[in-house]
Each structure stands twice: as C-alpha cells, then as structure tokens.
C-alpha cells in the first residue's frame, strides 16, 4: 500500500481574541516529538487525524451555536431558562458534572468519538511515552474548559441575569476552546496516524 504526506491539516487559531483574560499561558504548552523525516502515511493512517479534525469542526460549530444562543439571551429574544435548556442539549455540555477529562468536550453522538479520554489518551501514552506531557496538558485544559461551561450555566440561573458576566464567560470560552482544539490537532494528528496505522 502506498503512502503520502500527512493530509490532515491542523486548524490554525486566528490570533484574534474576544476576551482580555486568558485561561492558561499558551507559551507553556509542551510539544509532541517531531515526526520522522520523510515519513509516508497510508490511507488508513491518514484517517485518524482527519477524524480528529472532523470532530473538532463539529465542536467549533457547536461553539458558534452557543454564541448565537447567548446573543439571543443578551437581546432578550430568549429567556435564561430556555437558553439554559438549549445549552444542556449542546455537545459542549457534559452529560454528568462528575465526568472527567475530555468527555465534556469531545462527547459526540457516535460512540467512536467518545473514546478520547478513556481510550485514545491512554493508548497514546503507551504508544508514545514522550507524549505524556502533552496529554497531561490536554487533560488539564479539558478540566478548565469544563469549568467555563459550568460558569456559563451558573450565570444563566442567577437572578438577575448578569449580561456582561455572561458575555465575558462566553468570550473566554470561545478563545480558550478554539486555542485548545488547534493545540490538540497540532500535537496529536501525526501521532494518531502512527497509532492507528
């Protein structure tokens, strides 16, 4: 079977920020070991990174829906209770507040996409131990992002609704989640190709 260069292209972050706050210092993120020079990837290997980016694109679309929903709350088009109910139907919202790791953000309808925290990360650690610091950081970021979603939820039930606090939380979530998804893609697309090959 012939192979080619890695086709999955990690999504860049625009660099534009909505929030003046940062959830973490992106400069302290560990990096995956560089790929082997001249490495070719089979179509099967190509699929792992492509699937990761597809899942992330779905989450980016969910984030757009969340921003639209919060804009509707801000203009009074929808009330906080109805917005909260719709928030709970988004993929971004964890099914169980006690759920750890990536499940809060990478849980998509298909069971295959629900494996990152329970299957993919442990397998990556075993397959490529040098990825440990990257996986640790990704798990920490998942927890921080989960906290932001919970903060949005709490803001929606507060009386009276604090519109500026809601906007600030959504803006911070937007910046952090887009940065996180891009980081995860940059660090894991290539190792996933080797892992699933």
**pLDDT > 70? residue 79:** yes
**pLDDT > 50? residue 62:** yes
Residue span of the structural domain in which 69 resides: 42-195
| Tally of domains within the chain | 1
**pLDDT > 60? residue 123:** yes
Q: Is residue 185 part of a domain?
A: yes
> What is the predicted pLDDT for the residue at 2?
61
Closest CA to 75 of 184, 166, 186: 166
Distance between CA atoms of residues 143 and 137, nearest Å: 10
What is the percentage of the chain residues whose pLDDT exceeds 70? 82
Is the whole model's pTM more than 0.85, yes or no?
no
Q: Is residue 18 part of a domain?
A: no
Distance between CA atoms of residues 13 and 176, nearest Å: 10
Q: Is residue 82 part of a domain?
A: yes
Q: Which residues pair with 4 in a beta bridge?
A: 41
Q: Is residue 19 part of a domain?
A: no
Q: Is residue 184 part of a domain?
A: yes
> What is the predicted pLDDT for the residue at 153?
77
Q: Is residue 15 part of a domain?
A: no
Q: Is residue 26 part of a domain?
A: no
| CATH, residue 169 | 1.20.120
> What is the predicted pLDDT for the residue at 56?
87
> 85-120: per-residue pLDDT in tens?
776 666 554 443 332 222 333 333 223 334 566 677
HSE on the CB side for 67, CA within 13 Å?
Answer: 15
């Amino acid at each position: 079977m012939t192979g080619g260069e890695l086709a999955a292209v990690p999504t860049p972050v625009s660099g534009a920020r909505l929030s003046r706050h940062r959830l973490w210092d992106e400069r302290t993120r560990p990096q995956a070991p560089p790929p082997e020079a001249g490495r070719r990837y089979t179509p099967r290997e190509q699929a792992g990174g492509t699937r990761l980016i597809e899942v992330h694109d779905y989450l980016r679309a969910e984030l757009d829906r969340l921003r639209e929903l919060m804009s509707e709350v801000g203009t009074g088009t929808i009330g906080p209770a109805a917005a909260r109910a719709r928030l709970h139907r988004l993929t971004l919202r964890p099914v169980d507040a006690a759920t750890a790791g990536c499940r809060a953000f990478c849980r998509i309808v298909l069971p295959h996409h629900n494996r990152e925290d329970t299957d993919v990360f442990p397998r990556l650690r075993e397959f490529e131990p040098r990825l440990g610091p990257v996986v640790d950081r990704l798990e920490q970021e998942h927890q921080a992002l989960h906290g932001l979603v919970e903060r949005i939820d709490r803001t929606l039930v507060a009386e009276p609704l604090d519109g500026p606090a809601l906007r600030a939380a959504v803006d911070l979530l937007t910046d952090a989640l887009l940065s996180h998804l891009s980081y995860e893609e940059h660090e894991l697309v290539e190792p996933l190709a080797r892992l699933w090959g």
